[in-house]
């Protein structure tokens, strides 16, 4: 009988593949994959529940490499375990359109669960995975039928823990008692600038214990100790677990292990030759023994796990057919068949009722209408539920009810948004999160990451302009709308009344492959008159709200609270005999995606006299008004005063719009 292959040799396969790929690319980070190889070998071969033949199996464990610069670690693991990641893919590391980009990217590589790179966000996504698993299990599992039952594992490094988001999400995870969440901390004491003891001296163990986590410490190169700690972590059902793994970065490299020089640069041909000798590795680059592949291959085990689950799910379907159908619908991200019809009926109802309310109140009404139709809605706010108006009628906080549908995030805008990205990626929920528009800035990078990953996350941002008044310039957004609108794959809606607010919500819910930002006012807004065609055209992002009463001479473009102002100017100008139309543009990104005929019908190219009005930074709107047009808005920060006074102070008035139009048509 042959001697079983050693765990160290299996881990060395990760090390060698990683430094060979980095060397071939002449770019990348070999140190982390080499340092974490032993941890990865234990987790992936002994504990991780997955199926390489079906990376999307619903009940798989989730694995997140939060320190995403160490991407060759996960690519090596995927290759060795039997995913559709070939040796040629590893040879194409960091090359254009390869399956192995510089940082793990969702959608590029089978088996990669989330995009990581900006440190700390991977662990936030992992918290989102764990929340989704726990809540979905509570909603759908029944006695004898644990259909949703998996763990979430994340690797992280010193950099992740230095980022402030780590505090936000780890604190919340402890409070929520996410017992199926396990973090492995690569405690190697090295970052790009060198030894971290000069700038990172936290007592990480005490820190996480204070959050309510189980904390375990091990030698990160001792497979037996890692195995034991992982078993303890899995056994602890009421607390998340942090396993602090003391490791040596770049271990195996005689001259670079333990040094920052192994962090973010190839080892070099000479050092690789020495490292091969140190590891007793005789093979040429990218060559492995068959016995290594056989020991790593997880396909047969994974297929058996999924087959067993499918049998369990069949039993569940027989016992609870309606629940099973609903679960599958939600996991596949499909809306109920009648949702669009129901949404259109509500939009029409809003138009007929014609209420004059703040758009945040209109949003609240929409949530209360749509939530009973969509039990997958998972709401939340960063300690502003009463101001954002996001706490719908039947909201149940998950901190008290495991099967709840609302998350009290506390003052954690960044963590909240990155967690929501994880919830969306997991499946089974459509998350929405809320704060003041100004405090989107705290969450900015997570908003971007959700757009990069094409996730259906709905960002509810209220108090959208100087119109919030007395709180002053610290709370008054100016440049934020531009920032959101120029974010690729993000749809930013700023509705002007109840009808546009209902449409914005409906479109955001239907948008399966992009996030949406819904921007709402604090102050009351007038309802606008529309015919059925105009109501339908709201969904096109921009439309003619008020038609010219004589030959068209000028166009006023407005959004949100300034649509009412534009309509007042329209009435004055029409009485003066000026042929002017008002275009409401609640979502410029959707409008610009329409065909050219429609865009021309709304904004005829021969009409150069154009005025845009919005209580936000002026620069965005020059793409619509051109150099011949004018924009009425903000170029400075605001002031603290009642809203009415502020609009006059900054010249965002009916009179200013009238004067601007007249100056262009004379």
**Using an 8 Å Cβ cutoff, are 595 and 569 in contact?**
no
Per the annotation, the verdict on 413 as an active-site residue is yes
**What Å distances lie between residue 184 and 65, 72, 113, 430, CA to CA?**
10, 17, 17, 28
**Using an 8 Å Cβ cutoff, are 203 and 210 in contact?**
no
322: how many CB neighbours lie within 10 A of its CB? 8
**Using an 8 Å Cβ cutoff, are 390 and 553 in contact?**
no
**Using an 8 Å Cβ cutoff, are 586 and 521 in contact?**
no
Give CA 440 to chain center in angstroms.
13
d(Cα 167, Cα 208) in Å, to the nearest integer?
9
List the beta bridge partners of residue 630: 611
**Could you tell me which residues come within 8 angstroms of residue 496 by beta carbon, excluding any fewer than 6 positions away?**
359, 525, 528, 558, 559, 560, 561, 562, 563, 564, 584, 586
| 351-357 own/partner pairs: CB under 8 Å, 24+ apart | 351/498, 351/499, 351/530, 351/535, 353/498, 354/498, 354/527, 354/529, 355/498, 355/527, 356/497, 356/524, 356/525, 356/526, 356/527, 357/498, 357/524, 357/525
Coil, helix or strand at residue 183: strand
Task: Name the nearest CA neighbour of 37 among 329, 309, 251.
Answer: 251
**Backbone φ and ψ of 286, nearest 5°:** 65, 15
**Could you tell me which residues come within 8 angstroms of residue 51 by beta carbon, excluding any fewer than 6 positions away?**
57, 60, 298, 299, 302, 303, 305, 306
The continuous run of DSSP H or E covering 157 comes out as strand 152-157
Task: Name the nearest CA neighbour of 234 among 17, 484, 510, 48.
Answer: 48
**Using alpha carbons only, what angle is made at residue 190 by residues 219 and 10, rounded to the nearest 5 degrees?**
45
The continuous run of DSSP H or E covering 597 comes out as helix 596-602
List the catalytic residue out of 41, 376, 413, 562: 413
Task: Name the nearest CA neighbour of 220 among 248, 183, 189, 254.
Answer: 248
**Backbone φ and ψ of 57, nearest 5°:** -50, 125
- Residue 311 burial (C-beta neighbours within 10 Å; 0-12, 13-18, 19+): exposed
**Using an 8 Å Cβ cutoff, are 490 and 516 in contact?**
yes
**Backbone φ and ψ of 373, nearest 5°:** -80, -25
Task: Name the nearest CA neighbour of 564 among 524, 606, 603.
Answer: 524
d(Cα 119, Cα 65) in Å, to the nearest integer?
10
**What Å distances lie between residue 258 and 10, 147, 155, 246, CA to CA?**
21, 44, 19, 11
Please give the sequence-ordered ranges of beta strands (E in DSSP) within 322-462, or none if there are none. Answer: 357-358, 377-381, 406-408, 430-436, 458-462
Q: Identify the residue whose tokens are 């700038």.
A: 199
**Using an 8 Å Cβ cutoff, are 504 and 518 in contact?**
yes
Cite the active site residues.
Answer: 413
């Amino acid at each position: 009988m042959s001697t079983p292959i050693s765990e160290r040799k299996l881990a060395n396969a990760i090390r060698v593949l990683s430094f060979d790929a980095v060397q071939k690319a002449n770019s990348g980070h070999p140190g982390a994959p080499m340092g974490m190889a032993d941890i990865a070998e234990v987790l992936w071969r002994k504990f991780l529940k997955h199926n390489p033949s079906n990376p999307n199996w619903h009940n798989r464990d989730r694995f997140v490499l939060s320190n995403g610069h160490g991407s060759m670690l996960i690519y090596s693991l995927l290759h060795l375990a039997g995913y559709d990641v070939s040796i040629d893919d590893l040879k194409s590391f960091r090359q254009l359109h390869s399956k192995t980009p510089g940082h793990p990217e969702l959608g590029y590589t089978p088996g990669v669960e989330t995009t990581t790179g900006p440190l700390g966000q991977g662990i936030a996504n992992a918290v989102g995975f764990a929340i989704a698993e726990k809540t979905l299990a509570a909603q759908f599992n029944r006695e004898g039928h644990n259909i949703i039952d998996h763990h979430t594992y994340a690797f992280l490094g010193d950099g992740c823990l230095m980022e402030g988001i780590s505090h936000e999400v780890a604190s919340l995870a402890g409070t929520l008692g996410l017992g199926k969440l396990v973090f492995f901390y690569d405690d190697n004491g090295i970052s790009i600038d060198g030894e971290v003891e000069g700038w990172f001296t936290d007592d990480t163990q005490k820190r996480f214990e204070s959050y309510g986590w189980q904390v375990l410490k091990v030698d990160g190169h001792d497979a037996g100790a890692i195995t034991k700690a992982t078993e303890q972590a899995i056994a602890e059902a009421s607390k998340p677990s942090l396993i602090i793994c003391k490791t040596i970065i770049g271990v195996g490299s005689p001259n670079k292990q333990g040094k920052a020089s192994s962090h973010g640069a190839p080892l070099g041909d000479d050092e690789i030759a020495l490292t091969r000798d140190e590891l007793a590795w005789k093979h040429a680059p990218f060559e492995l023994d068959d016995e290594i592949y056989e020991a790593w291959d997880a396909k047969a085990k994974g297929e058996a796990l999924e087959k067993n689950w499918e049998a369990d799910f069949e039993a569940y379907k027989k016992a609870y057919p309606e629940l099973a159908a609903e679960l599958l619908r939600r996991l596949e991200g499909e809306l109920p068949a009648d949702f669009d019809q129901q949404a259109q009926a509500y939009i029409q109802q809003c138009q007929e009722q014609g209420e004059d309310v703040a758009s945040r109140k209109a949003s609240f009404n929409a949530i209360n209408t749509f939530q009973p139709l969509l039990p997958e809605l998972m709401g939340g706010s960063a300690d502003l539920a009463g101001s954002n108006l996001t706490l719908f009628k039947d909201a149940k906080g998950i901190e008290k009810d495991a099967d709840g549908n609302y998350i009290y995030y506390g003052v954690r805008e960044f963590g909240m948004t990155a967690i929501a990205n994880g919830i969306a990626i997991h499946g089974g929920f459509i998350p929405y999160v809320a704060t003041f528009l100004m405090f989107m800035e705290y969450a900015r990078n997570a908003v971007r990451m959700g757009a990069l990953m094409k996730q259906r996350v709905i960002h509810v941002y209220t108090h959208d302009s100087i119109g919030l008044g007395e709180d002053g310039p610290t709370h008054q957004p100016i440049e934020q709308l531009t920032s959101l609108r120029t974010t690729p794959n993000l749809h930013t809606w700023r509705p002007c009344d109840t009808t546009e607010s209902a449409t914005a919500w409906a479109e955001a819910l239907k948008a399966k492959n992009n996030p949406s930002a819904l921007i709402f006012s604090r102050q009351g807004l007038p309802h606008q008159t529309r015919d059925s065609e105009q109501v339908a055209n709201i969904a096109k992002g921009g439309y003619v709200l008020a038609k010219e009463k004589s030959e068209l001479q000028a166009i006023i473009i407005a959004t949100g609270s300034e649509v009412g102002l534009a309509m007042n100017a329209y009435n004055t100008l029409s009485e003066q005999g000026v042929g002017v139309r008002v275009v409401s543009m609640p979502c410029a990104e959707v409008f610009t995606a329409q065909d050219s005929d429609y865009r021309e019908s709304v904004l005829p190219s021969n009409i150069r006299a154009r005025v845009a009005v919005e209580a936000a930074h002026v620069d965005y709107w020059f793409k619509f008004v051109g150099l011949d047009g004018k924009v009425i808005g903000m170029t400075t920060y605001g002031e603290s005063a009642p809203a009415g006074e502020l609009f006059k102070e900054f010249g965002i008035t009916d009179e200013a719009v009238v004067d601007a139009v007249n100056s262009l048509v004379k």
